Amino acid sequence: MTTSSGVKAEPPSGSRLGAFLRSQMRNIAPFATLIVLLVFFGMASPSFATLDNAANILTQISVAGVIAVGLTFVILCAEIDLSVAAIANATGIVVAYFTLQESYVNIANVPLPAVAAIVLALLSCAFLGLVNAVGLTVIGIPSFIMTLAMMQIGAGICALLVRGQIAYAVPNFVATMGAGSIGGIPWIIIVLAVFLIVGHVVLTYTRFGRYVYMVGGNREAAEYSGVNVKLVLSAVMVISAVCSGVAGMLGVAHFGSAQQNEFDGYLLDAIAAVVVGGTSLFGGRGGIGNTIIGLLILGVLNNGLDHVEIDSFLKILIRGLILLGALIINVYVQAVRENERTG
């Protein structure tokens, strides 16, 4: 807008504030939702607002949180990974399966089977992520379809290894990380914190992190800038798979067993944590900070509903409505960005 003298007029302060609020809605809405949930459940149930329950919430979101860290990288690139739960399940079963093998050989008093089981489990999830990457970047299969196929492959690996049985053995190190504690703090919470911190540092302070945002924000511009888009996409698919694999091993230790379909519910939880937290499904906007808020929203919601008298079937509906609200905000903010870019 310009005046008759040709000088550009400043927009009214109210308009600037409105524009700022609309542009930041993806970040403001999740934080406001978290505050509302904390206040509501704190008032509704005295047992909710305790330190012990706060630790319970953090423990409950740890497995989904580690998966969500890897998924954040994928979604920031405007892709999706539907195989995260299946890879977590397969990796958890792989580590339990190889722990049960009886070829015990000791070198320097280190039990090779335990070390080998962990290494083989990590290699297996990295390989499955690499297959996703090849399908996406080399063959050209859309990530939705490629990871949907990998979901079935992961389920097949689980069925082949356990054949309907339940495995209980895991290496001592994995058991400690999944079910142990230090100074009263569960190790699984510490592992989640490490993954969140490392993920944030990589996305915020490294060249690779900048490339992830560039690929998600404008893939063609990233290519013109010399970014190896296919390599970045391949890397985020492998990162997602490895995070899922680590979560699978932690989950098996935390739950005390490895069995088929154990992590199926974590697919929606991980995606919801990333999206509800405010990371854009269209790529290029969001990050680990948003994922943390999303994880806390889901953790507080699931835990809080257990502290109040409510129909258990209604819990599923409430979670679905919150996810729908996050999707609507995602699409609305993207539309605002497009209007500002073209207008």
Residuewise pLDDT in 10s, the chain (343 residues):
445 454 555 555 556 665 556 656 667 888 888 898 899 888 988 888 888 999 999 999 999 999 999 999 999 999 999 999 999 999 999 998 888 654 444 444 444 567 888 999 999 999 999 999 999 999 999 999 999 999 999 999 998 888 878 877 888 889 899 888 998 899 999 999 999 999 999 999 999 999 999 999 999 999 999 999 999 999 999 999 999 999 999 999 998 888 888 898 899 899 989 988 889 888 888 899 999 999 999 999 888 888 887 777 787 788 788 778 777 876 777 676 666 666 5
Residue 284 has which token pair?
Answer: 């290029």
CB 86 within 8 A of CB 155: yes
pLDDT for position 342: 63
Give dist(CA 162, CA 257) in Å, integer. Answer: 11
- Tokens linked to 342: 């073209």
Helices (H), 135-228: 143-162, 172-179, 187-205, 207-217, 219-224
CA distance 277 to 31: 8
Q: With both helix axes pointing from N to C terminus, report the angle between 288-307 and 62-76 in degrees, rounded to the nearest 10.
A: 140
pLDDT of the residue at 334 = 66
Q: DSSP assignment, residue 108?
A: T
**CB-CB contact of 298 with 61 (8 Å):** yes
Strand ranges, E, within the chain: 106-107, 110-111, 181-182, 185-186
Q: Domains, the chain, ranges and CATH?
A: 27-342 (1.10.3470)
**What confidence score (pLDDT) does residue 324 get?**
82
Q: What pLDDT was estimated at residue 192?
A: 96
State the burial class of residue 152 (Cβ atoms within 10 Å of its Cβ: 0-12, 13-18, 19+): exposed
